[in-house]
């Protein structure tokens, strides 16, 4: 009888899948083979060549097509009698509102970013629809169940945002290779090949060093008749030589730090690279080829991306990559942003980061390692995706049967723990301090006289609270709102408010003020208690404001959870020991070693296909289990 009830629940269920990538392909196949008859899929991405090694529903002929549509068509070929509807769209689009979500019996997430996952969590809460979350990072994975009022919601435990670094550390005193990567990617690459009108912290250095080096006012500007190689050497000497010398002139900075070494092209490179390496016209890609495949490595006889280049090789790659950008991709200059799938961009950033690392006495990294750091990549494992997809379906069936006592959060480990690679843990009650599902007020420390409303909107409401269409009220006064139904006068008033300090707003926001922040699309509302604060630590509080009640995950060994001991900023490790799973239910606090800490990671999986949040199962002892 139980089997019949289960099949009836499965066949009668209407399921929403969000994401058709690494986890999504496995999940759709497993749902179809498990007897589900009505499946809807939302995914905004198109298929890339790099997806094909593990997203088995796709073929090379599908490259450039909608993931959701191709996945649907592939499954219907072996399950033609079931209903699958695909949406090639962003789940945050207005049509996917609370009413849309209410039509489903369960929602299954296979997303690749924190913002979208928070959005789906809030819509599920508003629609009172159970959510099964999932995530994979390499060999690690997890599946969690979220049911309104019964288990914690996805946001009851705070997720870390990507690690940011103070500008002064990046531009002046790097101590880790990731600092050099950020400098090369966000400052140098952006300055040379990105939007010329965009503010860039290299401008300050450029102006300071220009006077000492007798360079023109903007050394990054290339004259029309200027030889590309000479321009490349000028940039090289400026950023790795003159700028370092300028930094060394401040003796106070280096009292307790290792002094960097200025590096000039004449000390590393031959007088003429053209004679040594040949012309860029003979490179491995022609003007008709895909620009992202252009590469400097074949020109220099470099084949292995895992080989560690020395200073000379990095310098050669730096110059040749820069020359190729101007020779082969000149039309793109001024509009480029770093892309981890752009071979030439990765080569340039790797070389620049390694030269800077050499200057500051930081260990060098291979192209393969640097690409992982620059793109925050943990390479995906197809087997993990398949295991997690199976676990999602198991939990979805429990939800449909309303078998709450058997719900489990299941963790997939890289190494056995108590002879187990899959560790099930009972779900926990909602966190009473969660501002999303428990409506707990937040506290914001901010300088109300200096900080603008725009800072509050961008850094807090959107970045931290994840609201897409925010509305901000102070008492009965509406300070800010977005929406298509606003008239021009209202839009102008709200835009004017954005540029005012909080204390200068029509309804001044000062110490003790209480703001109401809402997102009508997500049907989410929360209160923010404002506390005026004059000063902030630039190193520890670079945003110039602190939000309590929404907190970062604890750091490990004094570092952000987004960095590991080898500084790759992408690795997640699991302890080899953990709580014993026995037939008798016990609190984790009875078995948890003291040295186990909460570890969460927000990184991109390879090619942005797979969900990417991993939580250590040994860190939940303080949560209250669902009765």
Beta-strand (E) ranges in 366-407?
Answer: 377-378
Q: Which three-class secondary structure state does DSSP give residue 546?
A: strand
Residue 609 per-residue DSSP state = -
Q: Which three-class secondary structure state does DSSP give residue 185?
A: helix
Q: What count of other Cβ atoms lies within 10 Å of the Cβ of residue 8?
A: 13
The CA R_g of the chain, rounded to the nearest whole Å, is 27
Query: What is the C-alpha to C-alpha distance for residues 119 and 361, in angstroms, rounded to an integer?
Result: 43
Q: What count of other Cβ atoms lies within 10 Å of the Cβ of residue 328?
A: 19
Query: What is the C-alpha to C-alpha distance for residues 321 and 296, in angstroms, rounded to an integer?
Result: 5
Q: Which of 25, 124, 168, 283 is catalytic?
A: 168
CB–CB of 123/520 below 8 Å?
Answer: no
Residue 332 per-residue DSSP state = G
CB–CB of 500/452 below 8 Å?
Answer: yes
DSSP one-letter string for 22-84: HHHHHHHHHHHHTT--EEEEE---B--GGGTTT-TT--GGGTTSBHHHHHHHHHHTT-TTSEE
- Is 526 among the catalytic positions? no
Residue 522 per-residue DSSP state = T
Question: Binding site for Zn(2+), residues?
Answer: 153, 156, 434, 437
Query: What is the C-alpha to C-alpha distance for residues 310 and 500, in angstroms, rounded to an integer?
Result: 51
Instruction: Tell me the CB-side half-sphere exposure of residue 403, using CA atoms within 13 A.
Output: 14
Burial grade of 150 (CB within 10 A; 0-12, 13-18, 19 or more):
middle
Q: Which three-class secondary structure state does DSSP give residue 437?
A: coil
Q: Which of 627, 618, 613 has the alpha carbon at shortest distance from 154?
A: 613
Question: Binding site for ATP, residues?
Answer: 19-24, 43, 51-54, 67, 112-117
Query: What is the C-alpha to C-alpha distance for residues 155 and 161, in angstroms, rounded to an integer?
Result: 13
Q: How many helices (H) and strands (E) does the chain have?
A: 18, 18
Query: What is the C-alpha to C-alpha distance for residues 261 and 243, in angstroms, rounded to an integer?
Result: 11
DSSP one-letter string for 219-280: TTPPPTTS-HHHHHHHHHHIIIIIHHHHHHT-GGGGSSSPPP----GGGTS-S-HHHHH--G
Beta bridge partners of residue 618, listed in sequence order:
none
* Strand order, beta sheet including 409-417: 83-87, 38-42, 14-18, 106-109, 131-137, 140-146, 409-417, 420-425
Question: Binding site, residues?
Answer: 19-24, 43, 51-54, 67, 112-117, 153, 156, 434, 437
Query: What is the C-alpha to C-alpha distance for residues 242 and 220, in angstroms, rounded to an integer?
Result: 13
Instruction: Tell me the CB-side half-sphere exposure of residue 124, using CA atoms within 13 A.
Output: 32
The tokens of 418 are what? 């108590």
CB–CB of 502/446 below 8 Å?
Answer: yes
Residue 89 per-residue DSSP state = S
Q: Which of 248, 243, 242, 246 has the alpha carbon at shortest distance from 260?
A: 248
Active-site residues: which are they? 168
């Amino acid at each position: 009888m139980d089997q019949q009830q289960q099949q009836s629940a499965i066949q009668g269920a209407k399921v929403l899948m969000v994401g058709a990538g690494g986890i999504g392909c496995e999940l759709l196949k497993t749902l179809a083979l498990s007897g589900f008859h009505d499946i809807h899929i939302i995914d905004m991405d198109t298929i890339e060549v790099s997806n094909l090694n593990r997203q088995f529903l796709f073929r090379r002929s599908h490259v450039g097509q909608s993931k959701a549509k191709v996945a649907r068509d592939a499954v219907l070929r072996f399950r033609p009698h079931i209903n699958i509807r695909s949406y090639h769209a962003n789940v945050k689009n207005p049509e996917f509102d609370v009413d849309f979500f209410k039509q489903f019996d369960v929602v299954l997430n296979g997303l690749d970013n924190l913002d979208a996952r928070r959005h789906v969590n809030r819509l599920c809460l508003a629609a009172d629809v159970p959510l099964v979350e999932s995530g994979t990072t390499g060999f690690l994975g997890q599946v969690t169940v979220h049911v309104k009022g019964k288990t914690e919601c996805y946001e009851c435990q705070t997720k870390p945002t990507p690690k940011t670094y103070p500008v002064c550390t990046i531009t002046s005193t790097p101590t880790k290779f990731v600092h050099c990567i950020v400098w090369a990617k966000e400052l140098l690459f952006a300055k040379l090949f990105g939007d010329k009108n965009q503010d860039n912290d290299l401008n300050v250095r450029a102006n300071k060093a220009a006077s000492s080096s007798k360079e023109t006012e903007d050394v990054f500007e290339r004259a029309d008749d200027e030889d590309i190689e000479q321009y490349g050497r000028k940039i090289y000497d400026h950023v790795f030589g003159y700028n370092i010398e300028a930094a060394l002139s401040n003796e106070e900075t280096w009292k307790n730090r290792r002094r960097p070494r200025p590096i000039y092209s004449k000390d590393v490179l031959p007088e003429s690279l053209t004679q040594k390496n040949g012309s860029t016209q003979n490179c491995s890609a022609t003007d008709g080829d895909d620009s992202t495949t252009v590469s400097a490595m074949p020109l220099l006889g470099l084949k292995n991306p895992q080989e560690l280049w020395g200073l000379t090789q990095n310098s050669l790659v730096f110059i040749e990559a820069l020359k190729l950008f101007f020779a082969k991709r000149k039309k793109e200059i001024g509009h480029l942003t770093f892309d981890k799938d752009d071979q030439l961009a990765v080569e340039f950033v790797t070389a620049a980061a390694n030269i800077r690392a050499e200057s500051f006495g930081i260990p060098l990294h291979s192209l393969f390692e640097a690409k992982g750091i620059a793109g925050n990549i943990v390479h995906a494992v197809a087997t993990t995706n398949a295991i997690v997809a199976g676990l999602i379906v198991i939990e979805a069936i429990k939800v449909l049967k309303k078998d709450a006592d058997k719900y489990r959060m299941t963790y997939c480990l890289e190494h056995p723990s108590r002879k187990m690679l899959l560790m099930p843990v009972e779900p926990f009650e909602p966190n009473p301090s969660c501002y999303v599902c428990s409506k707990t007020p937040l506290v914001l420390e901010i300088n109300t006289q200096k900080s603008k409303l725009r800072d509050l909107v961008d850094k807090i409401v959107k970045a931290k609270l994840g609201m897409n269409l925010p509305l901000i009220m102070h008492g009965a006064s509406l300070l800010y709102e977005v929406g298509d139904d606003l008239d021009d006068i209202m839009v102008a008033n709200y835009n004017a408010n954005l540029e005012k300090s909080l204390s200068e707003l029509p309804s001044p926001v000062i110490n003790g003020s209480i703001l109401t922040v809402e997102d009508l699309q997500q049907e989410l509302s929360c209160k923010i208690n404002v506390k005026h604060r004059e000063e902030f630590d630039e190193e520890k509080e670079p945003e110039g404001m602190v939000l309590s009640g929404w907190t970062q995950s604890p750091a490990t060994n004094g570092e952000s959870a987004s960095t590991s001991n080898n500084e790759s900023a992408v690795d997640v490790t699991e302890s080899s020991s953990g709580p014993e799973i026995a037939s008798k239910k016990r609190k984790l606090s009875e078995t948890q070693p003291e040295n186990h800490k909460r570890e969460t990671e927000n990184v991109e999986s390879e090619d942005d296909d797979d969900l990417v949040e991993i939580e250590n199962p040994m860190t939940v002892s303080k949560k209250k289990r669902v009765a």
